[in-house]
């Protein structure tokens, strides 16, 4: 048997390893568009600011190719943060909201490892964006691709925090959906 350490120089072994790793990447990564492209072509469905008492927390925006929201279709959900927030705080608040809308612990536990890897600490002015198309749920931080959550129900469960009829913020929901009676 050929020993690669002896037969190939270190650089060649590293190149071979990189090619092997890239060859095995999921095809979904190749299907993820540049976020700038989406922002210029997608039409806004609605937007809303989330505040607690007199503290502004974030500005959210929902957009799609048609300007209408259909959960089974392609869309972009963006949050621009108006204050610093630690990644663990984002995850904790997400879990609280999943519990509020009635998602079972076994459902959201399946997502936690992915979002812990994808969500960074947030500084005031940062954007966290989620692009959904077919079975792809891609996250971007400040327009830079972070990765994909590969659970078919994740996107719908995540966006349900804001768009479910069970949301803790019904006014925000109406604004994001572009409903005229959002006031």
The pTM is what?
0.79
pLDDT at residue 43 greater than cutoff 50? yes
Please report the pLDDT score of residue 39 as a whole number: 81
Q: Rounded mean pLDDT of the chain?
A: 84
Please report the pLDDT score of residue 182 as a whole number: 52
Q: Let me know if 53 is exposed, middle or buried by CB neighbors in 10 A (0-12, 13-18, 19+).
A: exposed
Instruction: Indicate the SS3 state at residue 55.
Output: strand
Please report the pLDDT score of residue 36 as a whole number: 78
């Amino acid at each position: 048997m050929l020993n690669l350490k002896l037969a190939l120089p270190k650089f060649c072994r590293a190149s071979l390893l990189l090619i092997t790793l890239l060859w095995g990447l999921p095809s979904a990564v190749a299907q993820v568009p540049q976020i700038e492209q989406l922002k210029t072509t997608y039409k806004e469905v609605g937007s809303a600011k989330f505040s607690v008492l007199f503290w502004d927390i974030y500005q959210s925006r929902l957009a799609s190719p048609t300007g209408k929201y259909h959960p089974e279709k392609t869309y972009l959900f963006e949050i621009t943060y108006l204050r610093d927030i630690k990644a663990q705080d984002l995850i904790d608040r997400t879990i609280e909201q999943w519990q509020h809308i009635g998602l079972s612990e076994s459902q959201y536990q399946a997502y936690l490892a992915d979002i812990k890897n994808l969500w960074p600490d947030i500084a005031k002015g940062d954007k966290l964006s989620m692009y959904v198309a077919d079975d792809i749920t891609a996250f971007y931080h400040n327009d830079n691709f972070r990765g994909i959550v590969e659970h078919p129900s994740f996107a719908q469960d995540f966006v349900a925090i804001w768009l479910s009829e069970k949301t803790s913020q019904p006014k925000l929901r109406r604004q994001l959906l572009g409903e005229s009676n959002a006031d």
